Amino acid sequence: MIQSESDNRNDIRRVAVLASGRGSNFEALCRGDTGPGRVTLLISDRPEAPVLKRASDLGVEALYMYPGSYRTRFGLDEEKQWADLMIDRGIGLVCLAGLMRILKGPVLETFTGRIMNIHPSLLPSFPGLNSQRQALDYGVKVSGCTVHYVDSGTDTGPVILQRTVPVKDDDTEDSLAARILKQEHIAYSEAVKLYCSGVLSADERRILKKEK
Ligand code: GRF
């Protein structure tokens, strides 16, 4: 079936962002060069998350949706509601940007291979929480950020792209996080642009950029 402009079912260019907090990556995706990709939906699991106001200010549909009663994952019924809403909105790509919950069920199954995350370290180093603190404690001289596809593990999916920053002797967790965050904003838009332009392919775990 050839998809027309008005058919919003599963459109590769329609991007949803799922976020729990501040929303600087969300805003970078809205303002950055994402090629044919457009952020058309923001969903948060926290009604008080600042990202909801950012989305309203930017004219993006912004919804709080109840995630269920668990602390770090979704309830099964609730995750299905999130997935159904994104299907209804014709979402083609789901971008996690500081979502403080693990996807295990319907969203992961519905959008397999179409979910990205941004993580503030050079994976596979320092997955999980407090990555900048982990990097400082380990004593690495270079850190950075990783955009990767999401699978059922924690920060284990195939790497799409990475950007590096130096770790300075006088860095604190905050100064390192701020340096990495600037690169996150560039990296995430670039990854979405590649995806929505249809130039990414996979060879086992390796994500490759097809020549057009
Ligand atoms: C970023 O550091 C991102 O890498 C991590 O959570 C943070 C979200 O920041 N997954 P923001 O809400 O996008 O400003």
Locate 23 and state its tokens.
């929303």
79-113 confidence digits (pLDDT tens)? 999 999 999 999 999 999 999 999 999 999 999 99
145 vs 125: CA distance, rounded Å: 10
Measured distance CA(76)–CA(5) in Å, rounded: 33
Q: What is the share, in percent, of the chain residues with pLDDT greater than 90?
A: 92
Answer whether 119's CB lies under 8 Å from 98's CB: no
Q: What's the Rg (C-alpha) of the chain? A: 17
Tens digits of per-residue pLDDT, 19-58?
Answer: 999 999 999 999 999 999 999 999 999 999 999 999 999 9
Q: Which of 129, 154, 147, 163 has the alpha carbon at shortest distance from 195? A: 147
Expressed in angstroms and rounded, the spacing between residue 177 Cα and the centre of ligand 1 is 10
- Tell me which residues have their CB closer than 6 angstroms to ligand 1: 19, 21-26, 97-98, 118-120, 181, 184
CA 166 – CA 131 distance, rounded (Å): 15
pLDDT band at 12 (very low <50, low <70, confident <90, very high): confident
The reported pTM is: 0.94
Distance CA 116, CA 151 (A): 9
Q: Which atom, in ligand 1's list, is nearest to the CA of 117?
A: 10
Q: Which atom in ligand 1 lies closest to the alpha carbon of residue 27?
A: 13
Taking the centre of ligand 1 as the mean of its atom positions, its distance from the CA of residue 97, in whole angstroms, is 6
Which residues in 74-95 are b (16+ Cβ under 10 Å) and which e? beeebbbbbbeebeebbbbbbb
Q: How far apart are CA 18 and CA 96, in angstroms?
A: 5
Three-class DSSP category at 113:
coil
Residue with tokens 């180093």: 125
Q: What pLDDT, on the 0 to 100 scale, is given for residue 162?
A: 98
Query: For this structure, is 185 an active site residue?
Result: no
CA–centroid distance, 124 to ligand 1, in Å, is: 17
Helix (H) or strand (E) holding 118: strand 115-119
Residue located nearest, by CA, to atom 13 of ligand 1: 25
Range in 5-14, 64-73, 138-147 the model is least confident about: 5-14
Supply the mean pLDDT for the chain: 94
Which residue segments constitute the domains of the chain, with CATH numbers given?
11-198 (3.40.50.170)
